[in-house]
Amino acid sequence: MKPKLIITLVAALLSLGGTGLWFITSERRAAQERREKFFGSTRDYPAAGGEKMKIEW
């Protein structure tokens, strides 16, 4: 094979792999944000430490 063809194929594979990796990470981040919005953010109400929960009667 010609060296230019090999370099072109490697560059194409790297760009497609980078695009796929970016898509997967951005989709995971979006899914985490949707989960936090639906179930409520765990940062607002820490399970251990932080402020104690105040019970209102």
Number of domains the chain is built from? 1
Does 50 fall in a domain?
no
Does 12 fall in a domain?
yes
Does 56 fall in a domain?
no
Q: How many CB atoms lie within 10 A of CB 31?
A: 10
Model pLDDT, residue 38: 82
pLDDT tens per residue, the chain (57 residues)? 799 999 999 999 999 999 999 999 999 999 988 888 887 755 555 555 555 666 676
Model pLDDT, residue 1: 72
Does 43 fall in a domain?
no
Model pLDDT, residue 37: 84
Residue 34 CB partners (closer than 8 Å, separation 6+)? none
* Predicted TM-score (pTM) of this structure: 0.49
Model pLDDT, residue 43: 56
